[in-house]
A and B are shown apart, each in its own frame.
Chain A
Amino acid sequence: MVIKILFVIFVGLAGGIAVGSGFVAFLAVLGIIPRLTQLTKTMKMIIWYQWAVVAGALIGGMGSLRDPAIFFPSLTLIPLGLAGGIFVGAMAAALTEVLNVFPILAKRIGIEDKIVVLMMAFVFGKIFGSLYQWLYLVGR
């Protein structure tokens, strides 16, 4: 019995370590945090950003595994949604950067100086696609 419990604890811990380190490694490769510190000029606080990620992952893990409820007004969800969207959007942008999407595309069609226009197409496409899914497609 004790061995069973210990084994389950060990497996849980091992799984958690795999997921957690994978998450952090993914964030590190994409380089979102350095980018945000560069924008806000808060390089010195980078250690606190590290703890923000750790705390967020822990709270998110607990929230998704233990079904808590804190009974806040639903308006609280607006900033949360915005924050989540910005995070995912920055991740998507970082991913296109890692994959060299924009440089190759701009060179192919020869609009290297109008790359902003190209990027805005991506941005509006994302907003439109996401709104379309949640407002129309899901409720159909």
Chain B
Amino acid sequence: MEETIYIRMRHRVQIRPNDTVLLKDIAQIIAHERIHQDLQNLKVYTFKAQDNNIIIIDVMEVIEKITRAFNSVEVQAIGPSQSIIEVIYQKKRMSVPFFVLTWLLLFFGSALAIIYFHEDVSMQATQQKIYTIITGRVEARPLIFQIPYSIGLGLGMILFFNHVFRKRLNDEPSPLEVEMFNYQQDLDRYVSLTENKESMKRIDGH
């Protein structure tokens, strides 16, 4: 008799290193009571030392494991077709200096942005104004502000795209990589719709 098992992969799962990932960790399961328990404790993945901190488990892998362990079952997969497993090496502690730095960065950045807006978007007038506010003196060329500002411009860009810290502590992609991916997806969607003659049908047949 064929039995139907319904599984729904969880989107994102966190594990500790050296954990064994069971089916119940990465998926919701509906099955007959008789095999439910065994199904829950089915080993899906064992952590390996050389693993990155992100592992993707595809639903096909899971179905293969289930059909190998239980014969005469039919697996119905619902929802996401893969799970993202995130290995947490140590409890993330919040770094206070980073927080303070980011806070100050946003604070002074917004202050500068508003002064810039009020000064009729003239960066030179903005810098002269800030010089006067801080030191109380008037200076036509506040180089002590302008040179760090110029260096900061480049730093900010690098920071945003995160390319200096190439030895990334985690495998999270940089915004640039995500952006390249999105652009490629847009192109793929465009060609798959426009190059396929069957995808659109017009009244006059052209």
Contact = CB atoms under 8 A, between A and B. Distances in A.
19 contacts: A23-B117, A36-B159, A41-B92, A53-B107, A56-B107, A56-B110, A60-B118, A74-B134, A83-B109, A85-B155, A87-B156, A88-B109, A88-B113, A88-B149, A88-B156, A94-B160, A104-B183, A119-B176, A134-B141
Interface in B103-140: 103-115, 117-119, 124, 127, 129-137
Interface residues of A, number: 79
B144 A81 contact: yes
Which applies to chain A's interface (DSSP): helix, strand, loop or mixed? helix
B143 A106 contact: no
4 nearest A-B residue pairs (beta carbon)? A85-B152, A89-B156, A87-B109, A56-B110
B136 to A, nearest CB: 4
Contacts of B142: 77
A15 to B, nearest CB: 11
A138 B124 contact: yes
A68 B203 CA distance: 70
A32 to B, nearest CB: 7
B153 A68 contact: no
Contact of B112 (A35, A78, A87, A100): A87
Interface of A: 19, 23, 27, 32-33, 35-42, 44-45, 48-49, 52-57, 59-61, 63-65, 67-94, 97, 100, 102-104, 106-107, 112, 115-116, 119, 122-124, 126-127, 130-131, 134-135, 138-139
Contact of B110 (A39, A53, A112, A134): A53
Interface string B155-166: 111111111000
Given A42-B99, A42-B102, 5 more contacts: A23-B110, A57-B111, A74-B134, A77-B134, A92-B153
Interface of B: 92, 94-95, 98-99, 101-115, 117-119, 124, 127, 129-137, 141-163, 172, 175-176, 179-180, 182-184
Contacts, number: 266
B146 to A, nearest CB: 4
Q: Which of B111, B127, B151 has the most CB of A within 10 A?
A: B111
A49 B1 CA distance: 59
B115 A126 contact: no
A97 B136 contact: no
B157 A63 contact: no
Secondary structure type dominating chain B contacts: helix
A139 B141 contact: yes
A10 B147 CA distance: 41
A65 to B, nearest CB: 7
B112 to A, nearest CB: 4
A97 B161 CA distance: 9
B98 A60 contact: no
Given A41-B92, A68-B133, A127-B151, A83 B105 contact: yes
B135 A123 contact: no
A90 B160 contact: yes
Nearest to A84: B112
Nearest to B105: A83
